[in-house]
Amino acid sequence: MLKGNAYKRNNRSDIMDKDFKGTKEEYVKFRKKRNEANRRYYAKPEVKIRKKKYKREYDNKNKEKISEYGYKRRARPETKERIRKWREENKEHLIEKGKEWRENNREYKRKSDREYGKRVRADPIFHKRLLKKQEEMRRNYPERIKEYNKKYHNSEKGKLKYTKHNHLRLSKKYGNEFNLNQEEIKEIFERDKVCVYCGSDNNLELDHIIPISKEGKSIFKNFVVACRSCNPSKSNKDVYVWCKLQGIEVPKIVKELLSIKD
């Protein structure tokens, strides 16, 4: 008697694999016949709908279980090695497919990234995994991360994001409300384009004309664009005094903004 792990099907023969009696050739014919019957059965539209419905209900009820199983399966050494080997052999194909998919699904990607970020921050297990993954990336690829950060910080999106982040931090430190939104920050960068003091176009950031420490406000008319050299050099000095020390004229845009009354 041949034995197997297959289970009884509710719509065909009542004979299970483990109960089959006969030669090996007869068993092969039996399995071929049953497999063909299975394919015909699962190809029916009503069966497909019922199967999808069951799978959807099962997935919703067992999200944590499925997620945990998937993580454990991907964490196996043999699985990691197989994935790594396949990725190395198909690196160009993956890069091309990734670019193509992101181009065709920009809105979906943006939305899914936001939802994933919320889920990660809310779920301790996911958050712990993400932190561990980030730590491994920083340890294994320091040069690649450094190069990516440099490129991102100099991009338009990076400038806007980190400028807002840094000034929000300063506002909390000095108890000064930061009243600029993303569009206004973008408008300031588009208006000045380069450092108003030296004309450099590298490492640009927002500079308070009247420093926060001297009761300067974080509002649109108190900001100009400065480079990462001029901004810390000016620090909390009066703009007229600092320009005189540097041997440069006070920029025209600075004078115009200082002349605007509340």
The mean pLDDT of 56-68, rounded to a whole number, is 91
What is the identity of the amino acid at 220? F
pLDDT of residue 4: 40
pLDDT of residue 45: 93
pLDDT of residue 185: 83
Q: Is the pLDDT of residue 148 over 60?
A: yes
pLDDT of residue 15: 54
pLDDT of residue 171: 72
Q: Is the pLDDT of residue 165 over 80?
A: no
The mean pLDDT of 85-90, rounded to a whole number, is 93
pLDDT of residue 221: 87
Tens digit of pLDDT for each residue in 21-61?
778 888 888 888 889 999 999 999 999 999 999 999 999 99
Higher pLDDT, 13 or 176: 176
Distance CA 204, CA 230 (A): 10
The answer to whether 230 and 243 have CB atoms below 8 angstroms apart is no
List helix spans (H) across the chain. 24-42, 45-61, 63-75, 77-89, 91-104, 106-122, 124-140, 142-153, 156-174, 182-192, 230-234, 239-246, 252-259
Q: Compute the mean pLDDT over every residue in the chain, rounded to the nearest whole number.
A: 83
Kindly state the percentage of the chain with pLDDT values over 70: 92
The mean pLDDT of 203-226, rounded to a whole number, is 85
Question: What are 249's two structure tokens?
Answer: 């004229």
Q: Is the pLDDT of residue 146 over 60?
A: yes
Structural domains of the chain, with CATH = 156-259 (3.30.40.220)
pLDDT of residue 87: 92
pLDDT of residue 204: 83
The mean pLDDT of 224-246, rounded to a whole number, is 89
Q: Is the pLDDT of residue 223 over 70?
A: yes
